[in-house]
Amino acid sequence: MNYPVRARTSFAADLHAGLALTRRSVSPKYFYDDIGSRLFEQICELPEYYPTRSELGLLRAHAAEMAECMGPRAQLIEYGAGALRKVRFLLDRLESPQAFVPLDISGAHLLAACDELQQDYPALCIAPVVADFTQPHDLPPRPAPGSGGRRVGFFPGSSIGNFTPEEAQDFLRMAAQELRGGGLLIGIDLIKDPAVLHAAYNDAAGVTAAFNLNLLERARRELGAEFDADGFFHSAFYNAPLQRIEMHLMSRRRQALLLDGVPYQFDAGQTLHTENSYKYSVAGFQAQAARAGFRPGPVWTDEREWFGLLWLQSPP
């Protein structure tokens, strides 16, 4: 998935604000500049990182049933569209989709991915929307009443796991309204043996470490931040009570990071918290979705029950 590449000002302002907190943190959306997006693609191929492979396996095996939930002449909205690889499994199975509407803030990436998709699906009406889907946004009109089609959503990749619980609830509430009369197919990463999770976020090749550290490197490249290159290291662990992987950049020693001339003092072992990746139970996530107005529908999980794709029926 692609998080937005933001303007300098918002990265700088958010980083200053996050560094000024007692528990320092910054949004994971800042991982995804060009280098970070490429590193994330490499993560998806790692032997330890099961989510992408598990989800692709589910789509390969069950896309026909998922497409049946969506129904004929659907207007399919994809949230945070990225490379548009996964949706192809659905497009191959959907009956006469009315339109495919991918939403992403990164216009250049979105339009390039749409061009590629259009070549392989020449008859498909593709209507990209360049927008931050977590904020109010416009969509093409719903399928006309009487057309038999419904508006349905697709939010793969367990990207909802990177939202705070409040952001996740806000997204589900927004989607329930936007998709009313239809439904949402959403990917979630399931609670599992912490050792499996630990390995997935501490891969032997060090790609996740490079992905995490790129956030500071990006601050150096884009904002002129000054810090010791080997002064921070990647730290990722499972926080069992909160059912989430936490990623941090941990300071090796007492040092100052300079941003726009402002020194931010780090003690040895002090961290900048860069990401949470929440893990869910199927029942727990369905209950959360129900609070936003969805009714639980079919669930597809792999044999190990490590990853789930859930169909949620929107309110009428």
Binding site for ligand AVI (CB under 6 A): 1, 43, 51, 157-159, 161-162, 201, 208, 275, 277
- Whether 185 contacts 309, CB under 8 Å: yes
Smallest distance from the beta carbon of 158 to ligand AVI, in angstroms?
Answer: 5
298: its two tokens: 């079919």
- Whether 249 contacts 232, CB under 8 Å: yes
Helices (H), 152-303: 165-178, 194-200, 207-223, 282-291
Q: Which residue number has the CB closest to ligand AVI?
A: 277
């590629």: which residue's tokens? 116
d(CA 125, CA 115): 12
Smallest distance from the beta carbon of 227 to ligand AVI, in angstroms?
Answer: 21
Nearer to ligand AVI, 106 or 208 (CB): 208
- Whether 250 contacts 232, CB under 8 Å: yes
Smallest distance from the beta carbon of 9 to ligand AVI, in angstroms?
Answer: 24
d(CA 261, CA 259): 5
Q: Which residues contact 244 (CB under 8 A, 6 or more apart)?
A: 161, 238, 276, 277, 278, 279
Nearer to ligand AVI, 158 or 314 (CB): 158
Smallest distance from the beta carbon of 208 to ligand AVI, in angstroms?
Answer: 5
d(CA 227, CA 223): 12
Smallest distance from the beta carbon of 200 to ligand AVI, in angstroms?
Answer: 7
Nearer to ligand AVI, 42 or 118 (CB): 42
Nearer to ligand AVI, 98 or 159 (CB): 159
Nearer to ligand AVI, 31 or 300 (CB): 31
